[in-house]
Amino acid sequence: MVRTEFGRLQEHPIVDFKRGKEVTIYLNGKPVKAYEGETVAAALYAAGVRVFSRSFRWHRPRGFFCAIGKCSACMMEVDGIPNVRTCKVYVRDGMQVRTQSGMPDAEKDVFSILDDVIDKVFPHGSHYTKFTTSKKAREFMVKRMRKFTGFGNPPKAVFQGRAELEEIETDVLVIGGGPGGMSAAINAGKYGAKVLLVDENPFLGGQLVKQTHRFFGSAKERAGTRGIKIAGILEEELNSIENVEVRRETRVFGIYNGEAGAYQRLNDDEGKLLRIKAKKIVVATGAYERTLIFENNDLPGVYGAGGVQTLMNVYGIKPGNMGLIVGSGNVGLILTYQLMQAGVNVAAIVEAMPRIGGYFVHAAKVRRLGVPIYVRHTILKAIGRKSVEGAVIAQLDDRWQPIPGTEKEIKCDFICVAVGLSPTHELLYQAGCEMKFVPELGGIVPLRTRFNETSVKGLYVAGDVAGIEEATAAIMEGRIAGIHAAVTLGYGGEEAKKELDEAVKEIEEFRAGPFGERIVCGLEKCTLESEVML
C-alpha cells in the first residue's frame, strides 16, 4: 500500500515527488494547505474539495476535468479576478480563492432547490426579454443573474502591475514545448537557425511529464525509456544549443502574416506583450481530451484520463480509492497500470468495441493485476449527488444499443474517460490554414505537405495538433518540420537535406506496421500535392 498524507502520495515506485515550500491559500476564507509548485486545483483536490463550481443554469456541481487548461470546469475567482482556470494557476502564500457560483458557495448552493421551477418562471432566453423597460430594474437583475449563473464579477481593483512590450525577430518560432515542439526546435537550431520556443507552462515536456511508462519502438526512438525521462533528455539537448531560446509561461494568442502575438508572464505583478516576427513558425500545441455522453457525465469525479495522470504523476495527489476506466486504448490501459502503481484500485475497464483497443502487452499486464476488461460494454450513468459514488454499465448489441437486463453497478469514487483526443487546432484556423475533418487523425487537422508545411507558406505543424499519434511520432514529425524550416532558410546545406530524407523515410517505416495503417489512411486525405522541392 502506497502511503499518503493529506491526499498526497508520499512515495512512488517511479516518481520522486519534490514538493516546494508549504504555503496556505484560502478557499472562501478557509485555510487550505498547499505546496509551492502545485496548481490551485491540485491543492484543493488534495484537501478534499470536489465541487469547484456550479453549472450555468441547473446548478449542477462541477469538478475539474482535464487539468491542463483546455476546459472551463475548474473556473474560480482568484485574488479578485473571476473566471480563472485554477488548473493553470500556481499557488502562492495567502492567495484568496473563491467559488464564483452558488449561494453561499458552490458546495452549498441553495439556488439548486429552485431547479424544479426555474424553467417555468424563467424559460430559456427570458433574460433577453424580461426586465428591459427599466434601466434600474435591468441593472439590478443583471447583478443578480451574474451571481445566479456563476459568471463571476468584474475585478473591483485597477490592475497595478507592469506590462511591457517587446519585439523579437527570429528565424523559427516554435509554439509548444511538448515532444513535437522540442524536437522541431532542436533540429532547426542544430543547423544554425535562430530559434525561439515558447510554452504556456512553467515547464517543458508537454504530456511527457506524466508518462511514467517505458516507450516502444527501436533504440533510435528511445524505446525502453520512460516518457518523463525523454522529456528531460530533450530539454537537456535543447539547452545545449546556444541559438535556441526558451520562454516558459508564454502563451501565443494569434498568428498574423508571419508575426505572432504572445503574452509572457514574468511574475505575479509583471508580464510582457510580445510581438514576434518569425520567418518560419512551427505550431505544436498538442491536443485536448474528448468526453463521452452519458447520464451525470458532469458529476465531480468524472475526469479525463490525462487529468488524472496530471494529478497523480505530476503533483503526486491521489485521485481516489477506486476508479472505473472507460476506454481500452493504450491511454486507458496504461493509466490503469499507473493507478495501481500508485496504490489506487481499478474496478474495471469498459470498452464499447468488440475488442481491446490498445496493445496486447498493456492489456495482459492489467489483466494479470486482476482488472476485468468488459468489451462490448458502455457506461450508462454515473451515480452520486455531489460526486461519483458508483457507475452503471451495460452490454451493447450489434447496433451499439444497451441490452436490457445486462446492467451492472460498479462501485467506484471516480471515473476516467479515456476515449481519445482531438487536435488543438484553433491557432491554425486563426492563421488561415486550410483545414479538414479527418476521423483517422482525431478530428480537424490542417492540410500539409509530407514535410509538415501547411497551406500557409512557412507555417508548419508537429505532434498531436497535426493528428493524434504517439509521442514518438510527434518527435519524428518535429524533426522533419524543424529541419525543413532550417533548410529552406539556407541552413544546413547537403548534410541537412540528407538527414531530412532519412527522417521522412524513418517515419514512413514507423507507420508501416498494422497500428500505423489508420494513420496512413488519414494522412492520404490531408496531404497537399504541392511541396517545396529542396
Distance CA 243, CA 227 (A): 26
Q: Are 48 and 93 found together in one domain?
A: yes
pLDDT > 70? residue 32: yes
471 domain-assigned: yes
| pLDDT given at position 117 | 67
390-408 mean pLDDT: 96
pLDDT band at 137 (very low <50, low <70, confident <90, very high): confident
pLDDT > 90? residue 56: no
**Is there a contact between 164 and 273 (Cβ–Cβ < 8 Å)?**
yes
The residue that leads in pLDDT, 120 or 85, is 85
Q: Are 506 and 409 found together in one domain?
A: no
The residue that leads in pLDDT, 22 or 145, is 22
| C-alpha cell belonging to residue 156 | 473591483
Beta strand extents in 364-502 (DSSP E only): 373-375, 377-383, 390-395, 408-411, 414-417, 421-423, 435-438, 443-446, 459-461
| pLDDT given at position 21 | 94
pLDDT band at 531 (very low <50, low <70, confident <90, very high): low
Please count the structural domains in the chain. Answer: 3
First to last CA, the chain: 58
| C-alpha cell belonging to residue 458 | 512557412
In this structure, of 74-88, 135-149, 423-437, 455-469, the range with the lowest mean pLDDT score is 135-149
pLDDT > 80? residue 68: yes
176-194 mean pLDDT: 97
Count other C-beta atoms under 10 Å from residue 307's C-beta: 27
The residue that leads in pLDDT, 49 or 114, is 49
Distance CA 37, CA 14 (A): 19
**Is there a contact between 485 and 496 (Cβ–Cβ < 8 Å)?**
no
Pairing of strands 162-175, 30-35: unpaired
- Write out the DSSP string of 157-182: SPP-SEEEEEEEEEEEEEE--SHHHH
The distance of Cα 70 from the centroid of its chain, to the nearest Å, equals 6
| C-alpha cell belonging to residue 60 | 449542477
| pLDDT given at position 5 | 80
Lookup result for grid cell 468584474: 154
pLDDT band at 38 (very low <50, low <70, confident <90, very high): very high
Looking at every residue in the chain, the average pLDDT score rounds to 90
**Is there a contact between 433 and 411 (Cβ–Cβ < 8 Å)?**
no
| pLDDT given at position 116 | 63
Tens-place pLDDT, residues 303-357: 999 999 999 999 999 999 999 999 999 999 999 999 999 999 999 999 999 999 8
| pLDDT given at position 147 | 65
pLDDT band at 282 (very low <50, low <70, confident <90, very high): very high
Q: Are 512 and 428 found together in one domain?
A: yes
| C-alpha cell belonging to residue 29 | 476564507
Domain boundary among 147, 176, 195: 147
pLDDT > 90? residue 515: no
Q: Are 429 and 284 found together in one domain?
A: yes
Q: Are 170 and 279 found together in one domain?
A: yes
Residue 194 belongs to domain with CATH number: 3.50.50.60
pLDDT band at 450 (very low <50, low <70, confident <90, very high): very high
Q: Are 170 and 118 found together in one domain?
A: no
Q: Are 386 and 343 found together in one domain?
A: yes
Q: pTM for this one?
A: 0.87
Residue 33 belongs to domain with CATH number: 3.10.20.440
Lookup result for grid cell 509551492: 36
pLDDT > 60? residue 533: no
Its domain, for residue 302, covers 292-417
160-184 mean pLDDT: 92
Distance CA 2, CA 317 (A): 12
pLDDT band at 148 (very low <50, low <70, confident <90, very high): low
Strand partners, 422: 288
Q: Are 381 and 302 found together in one domain?
A: yes
pLDDT band at 377 (very low <50, low <70, confident <90, very high): very high
CA-nearest of 386, 404, 384, 383 to 394 is: 404
Domain boundary among 363, 394, 417: 417
Count other C-beta atoms under 10 Å from residue 486's C-beta: 25
3 domain-assigned: no
Q: Are 428 and 372 found together in one domain?
A: no
Q: How far is CA 178 from CA 159, 238, 254, 476, in A?
A: 32, 12, 19, 12
| pLDDT given at position 11 | 82
* Cα-Cα-Cα-Cα dihedral sign, residues 402, 408, 409, 414: negative
Exposure on the CB side of residue 222, measured as CA atoms within 13 A: 21
85 domain-assigned: yes
Distance CA 407, CA 389 (A): 16
Tens-place pLDDT, residues 486-495: 999 999 999 9
| pLDDT given at position 273 | 95
pLDDT band at 438 (very low <50, low <70, confident <90, very high): very high
533 domain-assigned: no
**Is there a contact between 494 and 413 (Cβ–Cβ < 8 Å)?**
no
Q: Are 141 and 21 found together in one domain?
A: yes
508 domain-assigned: yes
46 domain-assigned: yes
pLDDT > 90? residue 154: no
Lookup result for grid cell 463550481: 53
Q: Are 14 and 130 found together in one domain?
A: yes
Q: Are 347 and 226 found together in one domain?
A: no
pLDDT band at 7 (very low <50, low <70, confident <90, very high): confident
82-100 mean pLDDT: 92
Say what the alpha-carbon torsion angle 323, 326, 330, 335 is, to the nearest 10 degrees: -10
**Is there a contact between 92 and 22 (Cβ–Cβ < 8 Å)?**
no
112 domain-assigned: yes
pLDDT band at 17 (very low <50, low <70, confident <90, very high): confident
157 domain-assigned: no
80-101 mean pLDDT: 91
pLDDT > 90? residue 184: yes
| C-alpha cell belonging to residue 233 | 533528455
| C-alpha cell belonging to residue 346 | 481499478
| pLDDT given at position 335 | 95
pLDDT > 80? residue 149: no
Distance CA 432, CA 385 (A): 45
Q: How far is CA 511 from CA 506, 507, 518, 521, in A?
A: 9, 6, 9, 10
Q: How many residues does this entry show for the chain?
A: 534
Domain boundary among 417, 434, 455: 417
pLDDT > 80? residue 221: no
